[in-house]
A and B are shown apart, each in its own frame.
Chain A
């Protein structure tokens, strides 16, 4: 009798243990599914954000597209207050965006690559980390601080001491006296904006260049040194050709940043919708136009600003996509 009860108790406790385990397993399987689904949803949020950006910009820009059509791209005039119908054209901000970024790249690319060459080829090991940190911290400074600094410190300095000298030096040379010409009226100019942009994108170029330079197999460099190459010859004939795709990718990435940079440019470019041949004249960019006018705009003016934003997004999208493709090609090769 007692043994029977004993057995019954055993089986019942075994049963509850099995049941418990089954319950826990079901719970785990459920949690497992929920977690997997949550990660998937979150990942698709990224695509949703992109779709949301495109849809919301197109919807917002639609009235301006209807009103101006293709003319928008080739009209120089920007007169939102004009009666009865405002005339709005994107040519001046597009020009300012492209030229300011181009000048910024002209300054930042040699500097950025020079720093990367110094860091990878010459720099004593103990100094490498602090110098790299200092350069990368430049990328951490918020862009409004650059704008403020450019407005109060760099702009007045350039306008008072540097730019008049450059204008005087090129005064008698044709073509150049247009590019570097004109009167320096204030601390606001396209060139000032370009210089600030150059400082801002410098860390991106340097960081990527240092990364891709370090993918060069040491044997290649050692072989070049072994046959008597100088440091520059090794860099020029081995390192740069080997890493060309990556360097161009990094430069494009920096260009994407420069094209869309807003706060740093808004303060110092002057927000003037005029196309001038001189880089010392005030100008505007797409992002500066949006930043300075959007809050007070309405109707077709606001829609035109959103259309400008759409143009900027398409432009940077293609530049950044090209950059990523190039960097991906390099990664594949490094992985192979």
Chain B
């Protein structure tokens, strides 16, 4: 093993020239910190060991931190699980499946299945509204690159499941179709996002009144208090 003391130091000329190898420019601290905060918000990252009472602090920062992000991961997982259960129940109770259903299996009532799907749809719409609010905020702060695209993919997957479910009736289907388009466009945003791409999405949101329709969607109005 070579001992440090035995090493021939690098020649001064080489050392000097090596300093120019991938010489780092100055770091933009403010932009970097903003990006870190946005990404931590998006992923719900929290320092281990930190007491939950810090929510007061987050509340104080409310104007800078979108509400959606703090619960994004839990919500998305919850929606996915709920959807799977809801769609499973829906399919079990769907007509023309008599040959597949076992006579002794406990079958939930159609009303139970319908409620589960409505809850899943309502949560999806609420989540989508929060995400799109975050998207708009990112556009305004010119910080779209820090947007959690993975969350858009999850929402898109949920949206497609809902489109295939009985809950996508004549009233809700058009909204889900518009939402699918917007979410699909957001998932295509990458590191080399062009302003035109972002403008296309925001124009699509405005033209279709997607945000307004999300807020007044029928699936959200039919739920009992406290579901969302």
A binds B: no
